[in-house]
Each structure stands twice: as C-alpha cells, then as structure tokens.
Amino acid sequence: MKWKGAPELSSKDGKYKMKVRGRLNVDYNAIDQDRNITNSPDVSAAELRRARLGVEGVIAEDTKYKFEVDFASDTTSVKDAFFEYTGWGPDFRLRVGNFKTFNSLEHIMSANYIEFMERAAFIEAFGLDRQVGIGALYVRDHFTLAAGLYGPTVSNQVDWLQDMKTGAARITVAPINEEGHVLHLAASWRQRHGAQELRTNIAPNNDQFFNYRARGANLHLANRFVATPAIFNRDTFWGLEAAYVWGPWSIQGEYAQLNGDVAPLFAGQDPTYNGWYVEAGWFLTSETRPYKEGEFVRQKVLNPVNEGGYGAWQLVARYDALNLKDNATTIAACATCGIQNTWQAGVNWWLNDYTRVMLNYGESSIEGGFLAGANRNDGAKIKGFGSRLQIDW
C-alpha cells in the first residue's frame, strides 16, 4: 500500500490498483453588484463549491479508470467517469465515458491546479464541459494530440436520441519541457450540434438551443450580467494557448473565438463572439509550476507547513475579456448582449501538496448586457472578493 494524499492499494504484480480520490472546496464570496444599475442585490455568502468523492485505478495493467461524483449544493452530479485503454502502447490511449472535451488549457486542467478560484469567463460562456463520448490521445513529453466524438452532458443523456453531437480536438507542443522551464503552445477546435427534432417535424419547439453567458467579477456566486438568448442550434469554437514558466515566474494566456449559428426558428444573422485572458504568477518561496502532457499538474511545495516550513506563497494577476457583442447581428441574435472586462489579483498559499488557501479580488466592467430586451446593465461595475479553503486527495 502507498500513500499519495490517500491510500493506494495494488496487487503484488502491480496489474491492479485502486485509490480513493476526492476534494473539498469551501468558498466565501462578497460581491458588490452595482444594484443602482443592475437591480441585483449584493452578495455575502459561503458555499460548498465542490465536494467530490470517487475512485481511480488500473485493471489488468492496461485499462485505467476514474469515477467521481460531486455532492456540493445538496445535489449529486457525475464528473469524470471513464475507462482509458493503454494496451496499444505507452503513448496511445483510448478513452470512453464522461470526460472533458479536448479544449482550452484552463478547461482541461483540474480546478485543483488553476491559479484563480474560477476559470476564465469564456470557458463557462462558450459551454466547455464534460460530455459522454469516445476519445483518442497520443501523448509524448513535448507533444500531445487528442480528438473525440461526444453526445450530451450526463445531465442531458435523454437527448442522445435527439441527435446532439459534438466533435473536439486539441494539439499541444512544448519545445521546452524541463523542470522549472516550460514553453507551452496549443490550439483546439470544437463543433456542437444541438439536439433537434426539426428533422422529424414532431415538435420543433422542443429543440435544445445554446446560449452564452458569464458571471461578474469571475466569482461563482455573482449574477450573470452579459448573456445571449438561447437561439443557437450549432456553434464552432477555436482556441489558441500559450504559457511560459521560468523558475518561480509564469505567464499564460488564451484566445477563443466562437461562431454561433442561429436556429431557423429565430430571426438574426450568425454572430462571432470572442474571449481571451492573460495571467501571471510569481512564487515568493521559489516553487515552480509542474507541467505534464499538455497541462499544469499538482503543485510541489518545497517546505510544507506540516514539516515546519512556511508552505508555498504565490502572487497572481489576470486580465480577462469576454465579448458577446457583434454589431453584424440583428437584435434577435443580440447585437448588445454585452462586453465584460475583468481584472483580478490573488494570493495562493499552499500549505502542502494537497492543501491550499486562495484569496481573490476582481472587478468587472459591463458594456451593454442584454436582459429582457433592455441594456440595463450598461456601465455597471461588479466588484468582488473571494476566498477558498481547498483540500484534495
């Protein structure tokens, strides 16, 4: 038996392994939602952001598995739940189940290892999520290639028979991949088709349509002040990524563009939306961000608190922009759905490899902001503070 944050059991020959996994995120948000403009009340509340429990391991040496359920908010939702076959070689993997689409560095990364409490605004806005599907991965130290075909999210599995489908692919290159020195470049693509009954002419009003929206100040308990109507039956996502690590310093950024197709039931030209961010971090205690297989992974703390040290201290800053305004569209497709620009600053304190305290402050400026046909969020300033105690195993 080994211990990696939790006990890991294995057979004598190492062909069978099992480890209990989980995480607990306890958050507090205090948010000024500029009520005079938005008519949304301020927020001062705590929440159980994540409360996950699951298992992962190996069966018969060449089949990995992972299954995890989130119990936060007094509901249960399936997160990662997949098998991964590795018997065709150490670099090739075949994955089947519920897992993230192969898009975006911050989306692919575990929330345990991102630098802010919440991911960049475009990730939620453009609907990057786990979906039921099959994917193939080719993984090397300096290069990864992944592609997958997907049905719905687990919460909408019934719509599989209504023909919802998604394709996604991501390629990463790391010309520099050494401990303490990393250069990461990547690109990804995704196309989704919504579940449609139009093809059968049974009940077109039952079709599922996409919409795009984001929370103010990049905090989970904030309201959404920029949003589109749910009128899109297909969209195409493109993303570019770059990151550089030099010792305790790091910088990363992404640009995403989404082309939405307005369903025939609605009037309007097809818009193009975009989002991007750039963030930087500095470890005062000389740690560096570990990188593996196209993403940043578990932080290694040089002097853990439980061993008499001070832990790892990191300062972070980010600028995040989301543009849901496309002047080429008619009002039905929402030419005024809004622009949200957010700057954030934060402190991360890693007590050890498995425990972190996070403090974030952010301000969002809102331009436009569609709501019931009125731009009443225009000019709003959303200001928020967030804190988190994070434990994972």
- 13 located within any domain: no
Q: What is the pLDDT of residue 207?
A: 62
pLDDT for 253-309, tens place per residue? 999 999 999 888 887 788 999 999 999 999 999 999 999 999 999 999 999 999 999
- 18 located within any domain: no
Q: What is the pLDDT of residue 335?
A: 57
Q: What is the pLDDT of residue 198?
A: 47
- 94 located within any domain: yes
d(CA 314, CA 294): 22
- 251 located within any domain: yes
- 306 located within any domain: yes
- 51 located within any domain: no
pLDDT for 28-80, tens place per residue? 999 999 999 999 999 999 999 999 999 999 998 899 999 999 999 888 899 99
Q: What is the pLDDT of residue 160?
A: 46
What residue numbers bound the domain in which 283 lies?
Answer: 84-375
Residue 224 pLDDT > 80, yes or no? yes
Hey, what are 283's tokens?
A: 């470890």
Q: What is the pLDDT of residue 370?
A: 59
Question: Which CATH number does the domain housing residue 140 bear?
Answer: 2.40.160.10
Quote the pTM value.
0.92
Number of domains comprising the chain: 1
- 381 located within any domain: no
- 157 located within any domain: yes
When pLDDT is cut at 50, 70 and 90, the band that residue 151 belongs to is confident
pLDDT for 294-325, tens place per residue? 999 999 999 999 999 999 999 999 999 999 98
pLDDT for 359-390, tens place per residue? 999 999 999 875 545 557 889 999 999 999 99
Q: What is the pLDDT of residue 199?
A: 45
d(CA 23, CA 217): 24
